């Protein structure tokens, strides 16, 4: 009897507490039979422990800790904003990591900054540029993109950006390592550029900061995400730069691009969908490790290959393509690039040269941690003192 009274009292208290919570904030706990036994984040971590434990060996435990810890942001400075935002950020202790690296490089004198693929690489159709008799062009980084970060070990967060008198925001918060694929794309005056998987638009915005692109096509197969990209651009870029002669935003399936346009662009960015490793171990929402998305996850390498091939075919002979992901997975990174190089040669008679990005790892060694000894491309790996990435990138040049 006493037990029954206690239980009733307890139930009334719970009911009273519910009344204190506004109705809109009440969450009904789901007890459906479909409730997963393990959250997707747990499944992701288990999968990564198995695969990355083998792939990355001793590096994996520290990368794992960083992946599970709070990530660090960079503030992509908006060159179109009229407010003195840059000085304000510097006064808070941030530094532009691109200017810093370039300045140091200039001081350290000119060593050859680009080498091409070496012989031990497993890509049959790769050509070494010296064997072609052409000296490799130096890896140049545009100084128009500016990105501020707090120093190593400093985990201060940026405040949200505020609009200037024209309604344009002062900076865009993003993983600073995401800027590297845009930097290595090396856009020059008048170039035509294709951003094949562009939404939500961080990299498109970074490319527009150069103010030198002749024509930019930003595509993403998701209509809702392309709308988001459009809104982002309108918050940062004056209308005169967003007219149809200079910028087109499309929503095509990028794998079919080869059927739409071939041999057209000077630069192509292929920033593919992937297992988004950091998101997968920290967020259950929209997680690709959910049981009902396992087919989609397994099809990723095929989709990535088709997108990269479409990007390669969209580029001009002589044009350059950057492939990038935010996963540590060798299957989604190096293996996709290797396969694309050989399929491009065999099926489309396109010969590609791999641009060695190792000078980049030296240039930005004070800001990012790079995975050592990758046979193809470079990869920023998360580290507690500089918690950016993962970002993988590989640059290809079309010789034919
Ligand atoms: C990693 S995100 C791109 C991020 C973007 N580049 C940025 O910096 O904000 C990958 C994008 O690929 C898009 N995507 C997926 N499949 C695609 C396809 N077949 N064609 C074009 N885009 C696709 C997704 O909608 C997603 O927005």
Residue nearest to atom 17 of ligand 1 (CA): 221
Does 4 map to a domain?
A: no
Residue 16: band (very low, low, confident or very high) from pLDDT cuts 50, 70, 90: low
Res 354 pLDDT > 90: yes
Question: Higher-confidence residue: 197 or 240?
Answer: 197
Of 220, 259, 293, 391, the one to substitute when testing ligand 1's pocket (max ligand atoms within 8 A of C-beta) is 220
Of 76, 145, 176, 197, the one to substitute when testing ligand 1's pocket (max ligand atoms within 8 A of C-beta) is 197
Residue nearest to atom 10 of ligand 1 (CA): 273
170-197 b/e (C-beta count within 10 Å ≥ 16 → b): bbbbbbbbbbbbbbbbbbeeebbbbbbb
Residue nearest to atom 25 of ligand 1 (CA): 222
Residue 102: band (very low, low, confident or very high) from pLDDT cuts 50, 70, 90: confident
Does 23 map to a domain?
A: no
Cα end-to-end span (Å), the chain: 88
> Could you give the angle at the alpha carbon of 17 between the alpha carbons of 15 and 19, nearest 5°?
75
Average pLDDT of the chain is 87
Q: How far is the CA of 8 from the centre of ligand 1 (A)?
A: 54
pLDDT at position 227: 97
Q: How far is the CA of 356 from the centre of ligand 1 (A)?
A: 25
326 in catalytic set:
yes
Does 145 map to a domain?
A: yes
> Could you give the angle at the alpha carbon of 264 between the alpha carbons of 301 and 228, nearest 5°?
60
The mean per-residue pLDDT over the stretch 351-357 comes to: 96
Res 351 pLDDT > 50: yes
Does 17 map to a domain?
A: no
pLDDT at position 72: 96
* Burial class (CB within 10 angstroms; exposed 0-12, middle 13-18, buried 19+) of 252: middle
* Burial class (CB within 10 angstroms; exposed 0-12, middle 13-18, buried 19+) of 378: buried
Res 40 pLDDT > 90: yes
Res 136 pLDDT > 60: no
Res 15 pLDDT > 60: no
pLDDT at position 59: 97
pLDDT at position 131: 34
CB 368 within 8 A of CB 177: yes
Minimum mean pLDDT range among 49-58, 110-119, 333-342, 382-391: 110-119
pLDDT at position 50: 97
pLDDT at position 37: 83
Residue nearest to atom 13 of ligand 1 (CA): 197
- Total domain count, the chain: 1
Does 18 map to a domain?
A: no
Q: Helix, strand, coil: what percent of the chain each, to 5? A: 40, 15, 45
Residue 258: band (very low, low, confident or very high) from pLDDT cuts 50, 70, 90: confident
In the chain, % of residues over pLDDT 90: 75
pLDDT at position 244: 84
Res 201 pLDDT > 70: yes
Question: Higher-confidence residue: 292 or 23?
Answer: 292
Q: How far is the CA of 201 from the centre of ligand 1 (A)?
A: 9
Of 272, 273, 274, the one to substitute when testing ligand 1's pocket (max ligand atoms within 8 A of C-beta) is 273
CA 341 to centroid of chain Cα atoms: 21
- Closest atom of ligand 1 to 273 CA is 10
The mean per-residue pLDDT over the stretch 233-237 comes to: 97
User: Distance between CA atoms of 65 and 368, rounded to whole angstroms?
Assistant: 16
pLDDT at position 126: 34
* Burial class (CB within 10 angstroms; exposed 0-12, middle 13-18, buried 19+) of 213: buried
pLDDT at position 337: 98
Q: How far is the CA of 273 from the centre of ligand 1 (A)?
A: 5
Residue nearest to atom 1 of ligand 1 (CA): 273
Residue 139: band (very low, low, confident or very high) from pLDDT cuts 50, 70, 90: low
pLDDT tens per residue across span 268-293:
999 999 999 999 999 999 999 999 99
Distances, alpha carbon 209 to alpha carbons 99, 172, 212, in Å: 15, 11, 8
pLDDT at position 12: 56
- Closest atom of ligand 1 to 271 CA is 6
Of 180, 217, 219, 221, the one to substitute when testing ligand 1's pocket (max ligand atoms within 8 A of C-beta) is 221
H and E: helices and strands count for the chain? 14, 12
Could you say which of 81, 147, 326, 394 is catalytic? Answer: 326
In the chain, % of residues over pLDDT 70: 82
Cα-trace Rg, the chain: 24
Res 302 pLDDT > 80: yes
Does 49 map to a domain?
A: yes
Query: Residues enclosing ligand 1, CB less than 6 A?
Result: 178, 197-203, 220-222, 225, 253-255, 271, 273
pLDDT at position 36: 76
Alpha-carbon torsion (196, 202, 204, 207), positive or negative: negative
Res 121 pLDDT > 70: no
pLDDT at position 143: 65
Does 320 map to a domain?
A: yes
pLDDT tens per residue across span 41-68:
999 999 999 999 999 999 999 999 999 9
pLDDT at position 119: 31
Res 163 pLDDT > 90: yes
Q: What six digits make up the tokens of 130?
A: 């010296």
Whose tokens are 């985990």? That residue is 155
User: Distance between CA atoms of 183 and 249, rounded to whole angstroms?
Assistant: 21
Boundaries of domain holding 344: 39-398
- Closest atom of ligand 1 to 201 CA is 9
pLDDT at position 140: 61
Question: Higher-confidence residue: 283 or 16?
Answer: 283
Q: How far is the CA of 39 from the centre of ligand 1 (A)?
A: 25
- Closest atom of ligand 1 to 274 CA is 1
CATH number at residue 268: 3.40.50.150
Q: How far is the CA of 276 from the centre of ligand 1 (A)?
A: 12
Does 11 map to a domain?
A: no
Q: How far is the CA of 259 from the centre of ligand 1 (A)?
A: 19
């Amino acid at each position: 009897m006493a037990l029954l009274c206690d239980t009733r009292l307890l139930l009334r208290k719970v009911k009273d507490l519910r009344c204190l919570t506004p109705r809109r904030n009440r969450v009904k706990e789901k007890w459906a039979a479909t409730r997963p036994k393990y959250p997707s984040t747990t499944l992701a971590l288990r999968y990564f422990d198995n695969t990355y434990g083998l792939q990355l060996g001793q590096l994996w435990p520290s990368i794992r800790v960083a992946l599970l810890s709070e990530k660090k942001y960079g503030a992509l400075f908006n060159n179109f904003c009229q407010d003195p935002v840059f000085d304000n950020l510097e006064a808070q202790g941030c530094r532009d990591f691109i200017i810093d690296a370039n300045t140091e490089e200039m001081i350290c004198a000119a060593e050859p900054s680009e080498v091409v693929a070496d012989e031990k690489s497993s890509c049959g159709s790769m050509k070494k540029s010296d064997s072609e008799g052409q000296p490799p062009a130096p890896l140049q980084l545009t100084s128009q993109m500016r990105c501020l970060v707090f120093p190593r070990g400093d985990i201060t967060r940026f405040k949200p950006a505020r609009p200037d008198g024209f309604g344009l925001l002062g900076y865009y918060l993003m993983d600073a390592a995401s800027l590297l694929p845009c930097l290595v794309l090396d856009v020059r005056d008048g170039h035509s550029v294709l951003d094949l998987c562009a939404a939500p638009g961080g990299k498109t915005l970074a490319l527009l900061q150069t103010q030198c692109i002749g024509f930019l096509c930003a595509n993403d197969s998701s209509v809702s995400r392309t709308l988001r990209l459009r809104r982002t651009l309108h918050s940062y870029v004056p209308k005169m730069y967003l007219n149809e002669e200079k910028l087109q935003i499309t929503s095509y399936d990028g794998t079919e691009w080869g059927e739409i346009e071939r041999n057209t662009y000077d630069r192509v960015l292929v920033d593919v969908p992937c297992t988004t490793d950091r998101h997968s171990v920290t967020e259950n929402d929209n997680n690709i490790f959910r049981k009902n998305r396992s087919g989609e996850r397994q099809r990723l390498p095929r989709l990535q290959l088709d997108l990269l091939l479409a990007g390669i075919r969209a580029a001009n002979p002589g044009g350059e393509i950057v492939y990038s992901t935010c996963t540590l997975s060798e299957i989604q990174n190096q293996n996709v690039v290797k396969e694309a190089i050989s399929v491009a040669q065999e099926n489309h008679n396109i010969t590609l040269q791999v641009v060695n990005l190792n000078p980049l790892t030296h240039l930005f060694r004070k800001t990012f941690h790079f995975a050592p000894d990758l046979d193809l491309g470079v990869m920023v790996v998360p580290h507690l003192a500089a918690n950016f990435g993962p970002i993988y990138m590989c640059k290809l040049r079309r010789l034919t």
